Amino acid sequence: MVAKPGLPCRCCRELVNGIGLPKGHGVDEKTLISILGKWNPDERQNYRKRTPHLFIGDDERQFEKWDDHQVRLLKHEFLRFKNAVVLWAMHPWERDARLIKEALKKGATRQEAYGVIVEVACTRSSEELLGARKAYHSLFNHSIEEDVASLIQGNQRKLLVALVSAYRYEGSKLKDDMAKSEAETLAIAIKNADKNPNPIVEDDEVITILSTRSKHHLKAVYNHYKEINGNYLDEDLVDLRLKETVQCLCTPHTYFAKVLYATLKIDVDKNTKKGPTRVIVTRADVDMKEIQEEYQKVFGASLCNKIEEVANGNYKDFLLTLIARGG
């Protein structure tokens, strides 16, 4: 059977799918080995000619060279399994410290990287966050607070410094009147956000509530806000950092389910594809069962089925193995 002009033949299509290009997360190593191991020189040349999206023809010199962008994508897909294993093998404190360091390195060019800082600061226990801060000292000879303060520019800095500096009370005691009063304070701040000269993300009262109160207290604030305003707090927040902060503190399972949904798409960029590794590795021994249940509830689909659909090879198998630990 002859392939249609401009389309890869069956063997080529299998290889493109097997290596995760142009779609998917990770590499199907078994398919790759079975196909490449049988190739002869003519088949290699045929593959290059029939995959113009991967190779660039040089008519003058009569050969086809790899597109550099596709080479970079392929390297990232090969690294995905290795990075997941290395991240899993790390002590959780070191893992979180390195996640924050990477986010800070990319912060100047990728604002969404700040969301990783919020995630670590707000979904870990007080002892876990303190441990990450100790690990950061050991690894980088700086404090997290120092690097966040010096490397992050703009109006998000004050909030992020406060969040990574937090050591929250984790007991069950709660002053409900205070929680209701703070819900009202937040409602007023949001209502008057357009009238104030400074953005709400810099509001001292808002930052104090979100960065110092216990999660038990904040969930009460969250519910009181709903009673007062008809919407949940995160629904009324426009600022992305504040929205992520509230979601991580008050509805972490929904937050993580949404991260997985957004990152388990075939056409997302290489950095966004890191989301499933980060979430599944860091939550496998914490609340993966609850995250799966929330994913099913919100999106009407199985998280494991989605990973089967999108991921490839050893990377896919490793993610599914970690998810299975959660029951």
Q: Give the pTM.
A: 0.88
pLDDT of residue 14 exceeding 60: no
What is the per-residue pLDDT for 73?
Answer: 79
Q: What is the pLDDT of residue 184?
A: 98
- What is the span of the domain harbouring residue 15? 10-66
Is-cis flag, bond preceding 197, omega within 30?
Answer: no
pLDDT band (50, 70, 90) for residue 185: very high
Residue 104 lies in a domain: no
Residue 240 lies in a domain: no
Confirm whether 16 is domain-assigned: yes
Position with higher pLDDT, 238 vs 19 = 238
**Which CATH number covers residue 274?**
1.10.220.10
Query: For residue 235, what are the CA distances in angstroms to 230, 256, 272?
Result: 10, 16, 23
- Residue 243, classed as helix, strand or coil, is helix
Domain boundary among 22, 49, 66: 66
Between 129 and 106, the more confident residue is 129
pLDDT exceeds 50 at position 8: no
- Is residue 88 assigned to a domain? no
* Distance, CA of 102 to CA of 138 (rounded, Å): 16
112 lies in some domain: no
Q: What are phi and psi of 58, to 5 degrees?
A: -115, 95
207 occurs within a structural domain: no
Q: Is the pLDDT of residue 22 over 50?
A: no
pLDDT of 7:
38
Is residue 258 assigned to a domain?
yes
H-assigned helices in the chain: 10-18, 29-36, 41-50, 68-89, 92-106, 114-123, 126-140, 144-151, 157-164, 176-191, 204-212, 215-229, 233-236, 240-250, 252-263, 274-283, 288-299, 303-310, 313-325
Max avg pLDDT among 132-136, 263-267, 310-314: 132-136
Boundary of a domain, candidates 66, 84, 106 = 66
**Between residues 255 and 23, which one has the greater pLDDT?**
255
Domain final residue pick, 66, 89, 105: 66
> Is there a domain that residue 243 lies in?
no
% of residues, the chain, pLDDT over 70: 83
> How confident is the model at residue 70, as a pLDDT?
75
Share of the chain above pLDDT 90, in %: 69
Count of the separate structural domains present in the chain: 2
What pLDDT does residue 156 have?
Answer: 92
